[in-house]
Structure 1
């Protein structure tokens, strides 16, 4: 057992650490099969250049890159019937699918966008790296630059692009990583709970039972998941709110924001923005970064501020 495996086993438990590291060590990420989805276009690297060439051929690549830097600040009110009075007007900055090593200009635009925002906590719902395998140093360096501009506390989870070997570095920056775990948020003597699961989409190492085991039944609880695909399980686990990303809202969409694909095994209405399933409120951010090709059309990138309000 190497040193990183020992660290991760101590932090996550032996089985979780070996599952994550074992799948990462397999020969290449699969394009077909594995994960919740059958088709994983983010792992089909021979297609990335083809898509980029096609956009360049029609003279739209520069425009698509400019679109990728045109970050929007979205605001999402969340009315919660049992929210403690102390948490009324509580604001959560939600960042996802940053892919910070994809393009330096995208990262600079993100840093400038978040610098002057007002919020109480920040949550990160995964995909810090551009590729799904290989070196992690570029993503770690980019995250270090970004975290310096974020107000603490910052909570995070990993996505399908991320290596679990990034965990020690992310935690050393001050990010409180929730790996099938929950934490208590306290304000003026009142409490709500924030839980997070490891990637459900490709690695399938999420464990909602473990994440929720110490959350009281009547407490307000929020769940961080990289993807909306576990919405049924989350709702039946009694989470009040689920915050996620992964879909990029399609990233390259038809006019009107109609996605060509969402790379997500969930109803299309959950592909972007606010949604509800049974009693649970959800929000799927289209993300701040780009994947596969550094371009966006009819789907601008976003950072989101969720505003907790008493119903």
Structure 2
């Protein structure tokens, strides 16, 4: 009887020690994850470099370098945004594009305009923006968002494309730059966006969210599509990836390079954050794409 009591007591003490040690380890991991997600990663920057080869690219655009940013959600110009400006200055791009969600609120535009002005000067190249769903939240009427775009262009020299396209020329060659309005809230009009674009052309398409990927893949001219919106999931877990992505595709197009038919799609993980000020295993991203 005594032996049974002693043995049971030892086992209980052993279990308590194991549970205590486990709690300490779990607590330490949770604390480390919180520091990483809230205090470190949001202020760092990943630079992703890609070469996109297409037989449809006119020879004059071989080697064209495009820098993509997305989802600024700009409240203040933090270290990550400073790093992005420095990276752009060093890259000497031919074109800089920003695929939506510049601001969250109409009263937070001053920092955004200051950042974009500095970015435009650092780029030494054209900068083009398309709207995102948070831009429409900040400016919910057609008149207010049009006024915001007009102000943005006037104060920064940046071009805003809203269901429009422009021709880019190099020597005797040309490609089309197509910019859609936000597809997540249903503002994208692909017919208007591609108006006048020949089916045989090479079109670089800027759109905020992956919502229109399958429709864009049916457009013969759409050779490369750049998007954002997903924040890469913003919180990613080892072996699992993005926990949640606000998209009709779920996590299918959370971030990275994809191909549907003959069209390449790239989803940038974005610079900023929404809802919670956290990024875990998903640092802010600047993408450098070289066309071949």
Please, what TM-score do these two structures have when normalized by structure 1? 0.75
Structure 2 counterparts to residues 273-284 of structure 1, below 5 A: 273-284=256-267
Deviation of 1:230 after TM superposition, in Å, equals: 0.4
Structure 2 counterparts to residues 78-89 of structure 1, below 5 A: 78-89=52-63
2:20 corresponds to which residue?
none
1:147 corresponds to which residue?
120
Cα distance in 2 for residues equivalent to 1:257 and 1:86: 42
Q: Highest Rg: 1 or 2? A: 2
Structure 2 counterparts to residues 205-220 of structure 1, below 5 A: 205-220=187-202
Structure 2 counterparts to residues 38-187 of structure 1, below 5 A: 58=31, 60-64=33-37, 65-101=39-75, 104-129=78-103, 131=104, 135-162=108-135, 163=139, 164=145, 165-172=147-154, 173-187=156-170
Cα distance in 1 for residues equivalent to 2:201 and 2:66: 18
Cα distance in 1 for residues equivalent to 2:112 and 2:120: 12
Task: Quote the RMSD (CA, aligned, Å).
Answer: 2.0
Q: Which runs of 5+ in 2 are unaligned?
A: 1-29, 140-144
1:39 corresponds to which residue?
none
1:297 aligns with 2:276: no
Q: Which runs of 5+ in 1 are unaligned?
A: 1-56
2:14 corresponds to which residue?
none
Cα distance in 1 for residues equivalent to 2:106 and 2:184: 15
Please, what TM-score do these two structures have when normalized by structure 2? 0.80
Three-state SS of the structure 1 residue aligned to 2:91 is coil
Cα distance in 2 for residues equivalent to 1:219 and 1:91: 19
Cα distance in 2 for residues equivalent to 1:267 and 1:221: 27
Cα distance in 2 for residues equivalent to 1:69 and 1:257: 23
Residue correspondences, number: 251
2:242 corresponds to which residue?
259
Cα distance in 1 for residues equivalent to 2:209 and 2:106: 19
Distance 1:252 1:177, change over 3 A: same
Deviation of 1:296 after TM superposition, in Å, equals: 1.1
Cα distance in 1 for residues equivalent to 2:105 and 2:53: 36
Conserved? CA contact 2:80–2:284, under 8 Å: no
Cα distance in 1 for residues equivalent to 2:77 and 2:35: 13
Deviation of 1:192 after TM superposition, in Å, equals: 0.7
Distance 1:70 1:96, change over 3 A: same
Deviation of 1:294 after TM superposition, in Å, equals: 2.3
Deviation of 1:140 after TM superposition, in Å, equals: 2.8
